[in-house]
């Protein structure tokens, strides 16, 4: 949990979750882009990102490869 790669994984998941929740919230309010309550969209997406972050941190002890993933099928390729 205290590795750089772990936190890169956590942030990547949180950013993806934020984007997915924002798209879903905008799509749910499909009356038109000018009518979207962007404060609500950011609130919902932010809450989803926090939930993702907490889930990754909570799953850290279960990971055997030191990543934010619960699966052990993670392989990193050095660049």
Output the pLDDT for position 3: 84
Residue 13 lies in a domain: yes
d(CA 79, CA 72): 21
Output the pLDDT for position 63: 67
Contact of 67 with 9, CB cutoff 8 Å? yes
Residue 72 lies in a domain: no
d(CA 10, CA 44): 19
Q: How many domains does the chain have?
A: 1
Output the pLDDT for position 66: 60
* DSSP state, residue 29: T
Output the pLDDT for position 65: 63
Residue range of the domain that includes 49: 4-62
Residue 30 lies in a domain: yes
d(CA 79, CA 15): 22
Residue 75 lies in a domain: no
Output the pLDDT for position 55: 92
Residue 43 lies in a domain: yes
What pLDDT digit, counting tens, does each position of 21-72 carry?
Answer: 999 998 887 777 778 888 999 999 999 999 999 999 988 877 666 666 666 6
């Amino acid at each position: 949990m205290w590795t750089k790669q772990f936190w890169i994984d956590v942030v990547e998941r949180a950013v993806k979750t934020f984007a997915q929740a924002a798209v879903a919230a905008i799509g749910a309010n499909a009356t038109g882009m000018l009518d979207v309550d962007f404060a609500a969209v950011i609130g919902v997406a932010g809450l989803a990102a926090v939930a993702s972050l907490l889930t990754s941190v909570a799953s850290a002890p279960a990971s055997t490869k030191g990543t934010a993933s619960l699966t052990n099928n993670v392989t990193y390729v050095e660049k």
